[in-house]
């Protein structure tokens, strides 16, 4: 049996997308590992399953490249908005997406050619923001923990491009404060409206971007008085616009969604 998939990326954060309404996927963690391999599979940061939902318009499940399941992914949410609209699965430009972190609402920016180039996602309210002592092995002795429905650890540094992500990221991912591991963001505040960020993602390692990580970084910077409530977060793969609405407490994330190609892969790899 062959499974049809679509390769997409949001600011360089690339995933394999499968419409499970047409191709039910058993053991998704296993296939996330197999298909995400760059030399023997498709190559990606993980596997995203698009499904039906009784609570929203569609559902999302996301599996990291190591097979572990994540609760939420901002970049994948934007790509799902593009996928379902351009595939003709919906004519809505405002979509309720059912995730393990709850309903996320998407607003699609549709151009004159009926293509979705940008998507705004209501990422909800950041919570449990608090400083955390890390120890001498980290590039900064303290970080800021933030929950965006999944756990994040934000470290503000002076020169983010000098951080050895592959060396430092794994140690902090397994910090004892986070028994289920954590996503780690290294951030340099350029000015009150601009942050440069790099990320080590739980279960995937170094990635080009992380939507929930960008939100967590913005929340940590704003809560610390380092940035304004509207800020751009520039990552290795692209830039996202974040707006932490003072009246609702919700963070709105706006950024690109890009289709790379469609393909088929044998079910028995």
- Of the pLDDT bands very low, low, confident and very high (cuts 50, 70, 90), residue 136 is low
Domain total in the chain: 2
pLDDT in the model for residue 140: 78
For residue 31, what are the domain limits?
A: 2-123+255-266
Examine the pLDDT at 51 and tell me if it is beyond 60. Answer: yes
Are 119 and 131 members of one domain? no
Q: Single out the catalytic residue among 79, 210, 215, 227.
A: 210
- Of the pLDDT bands very low, low, confident and very high (cuts 50, 70, 90), residue 137 is low
Mean per-residue pLDDT of the chain: 96
Q: Single out the catalytic residue among 73, 79, 215, 227.
A: 73
CATH code assigned at 162: 3.10.310.10
pTM: 0.94
DSSP string, the chain: -EEEEEEEEETTEEEEEEETTTS--SSHHHHHHHHH-TTTS---SEEEEEE--SSSSEEEEEEETTSPEES--HHHHHHHHHHHHHTTS---SEEEEEETTEEEEEEEEE-TTS-EEEEEEE----EEEEEEE--TTSSSSEEEEEESSSEEEEEE-S-GGG--HHHHHHHHHT-TT-TT--EEEEEEEEETTEEEEEEEETTTEEES--HHHHHHHHHHHHHTTSS-SEEEEEETTEEEEEEE-TTT-PEEEEEE-EEEEEEEEES--
Are 148 and 168 members of one domain? yes
Annotated catalytic residue 210: yes
Are 226 and 171 members of one domain? yes
Annotated catalytic residue 227: no
């Amino acid at each position: 049996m062959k499974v049809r998939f679509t390769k997409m990326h949001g600011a360089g954060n690339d995933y394999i997308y499968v419409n499970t309404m047409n191709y039910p996927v058993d053991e998704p963690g296993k296939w996330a590992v197999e298909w995400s391999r760059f030399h023997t599979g498709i190559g990606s940061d993980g596997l995203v399953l698009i499904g039906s939902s009784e609570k929203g318009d569609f559902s999302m499940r996301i599996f990291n490249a190591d097979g572990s399941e994540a609760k939420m992914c901002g970049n994948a949410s934007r790509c799902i908005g593009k996928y379902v609209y351009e595939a003709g699965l919906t004519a809505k430009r405002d979509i309720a997406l059912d995730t393990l972190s709850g309903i996320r609402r998407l607003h699609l920016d549709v151009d004159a050619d009926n293509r979705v180039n940008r998507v705004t996602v209501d990422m909800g309210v950041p919570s449990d923001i608090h400083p955390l002592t890390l120890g001498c092995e980290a590039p900064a002795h303290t970080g800021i923990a933030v929950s965006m429905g999944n756990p994040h650890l934000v470290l503000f540094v002076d020169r983010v491009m000098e951080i050895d992500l592959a060396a430092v990221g794994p140690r902090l991912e397994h910090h004892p404060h986070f028994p289920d591991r954590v996503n780690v963001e290294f951030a340099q505040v350029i000015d009150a409206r601009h942050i440069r960020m790099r990320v080590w993602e739980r279960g995937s390692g170094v990635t080009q971007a992380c939507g929930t990580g960008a939100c967590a970084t913005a929340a940590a910077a704003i809560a610390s008085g380092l940035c304004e409530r509207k800020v751009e977060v520039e990552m290795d793969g692209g830039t996202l616009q974040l707006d932490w609405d003072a009246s609702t407490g919700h963070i709105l994330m706006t950024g690109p969604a890009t289709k790379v190609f469609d393909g088929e892969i044998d079910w028995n790899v």
